[in-house]
Structure 1
Amino acid sequence: MADSQQMFKAGECRGTAQAKTDEWIDSAKNTASTARDKTANAAQCTQESAQHGKEQTAGFLQQTGEQVMNMAHGAMDSMKNTLGVGDNNSHIYKK
């Protein structure tokens, strides 16, 4: 009878160990799935943030380019006026 009782206990321990192992495996799978989801979300946010930054940079560069071009035109007009070849002063030298 001791042998059957020992076998029963051994089987019970094995069943309990198998159940615990299955719980741990499921827990590890859930943790991995959650980590994968969080990583995918972080990657999506990073991509959206990069796109937004790219758009802002493009707008900034365009605005800066327009400002530089306007300043260059202003400087050119000022120089023409100083030399007397600008549109505003051309009527003075016509005689």
Structure 2
Amino acid sequence: MMNSNQSATNQASNQAGQAAGQAEEKGNQLMDQASNAAQAAKESMQQAGQQMQQKAQDAAEAVKEATGMNK
């Protein structure tokens, strides 16, 4: 049979374990959010790069046509 000290110790241990588990879960959630933000930023930068590349190609074509080099 447990005495009151053992019961209080077990209860404190259980609460500490729960707190640690909750902290770990919160950390995992924050890491997921950071990963999602990084992925979104990467995709945005890739899209911007593609748009810039297309504009540069369009400008090069315009110069070729204006100077008659496109023939």
Length-normalised TM-score, structure 1: 0.63
2:43 aligns to what?
A: 37
Bigger relative CO (Cα 8 Å, ≥ 6 apart): 2
CA RMSD, aligned part only? 1.2
- Residues in 2 aligned to 1:7 and 1:56: alpha-carbon distance in whole angstroms: 73
Deviation string, structure 1 residues 31-87 (Cα, Å, up to 9, x no partner): 111011001100000000100000001111228xxxxxxxxxxxxxxxxxxxxxxxx
Identical aligned residues as a percent: 29
Q: Give the match for residue 48 of structure 1.
A: 54
TM-score (norm. length: structure 2): 0.83
Structure 2: stretches of 5+ with no match in the other structure = 1-6
1:27 aligns with 2:42: no
| AA at the equivalent of 1:30 | N
**Aligned-pair distance for 1:29?**
0.7
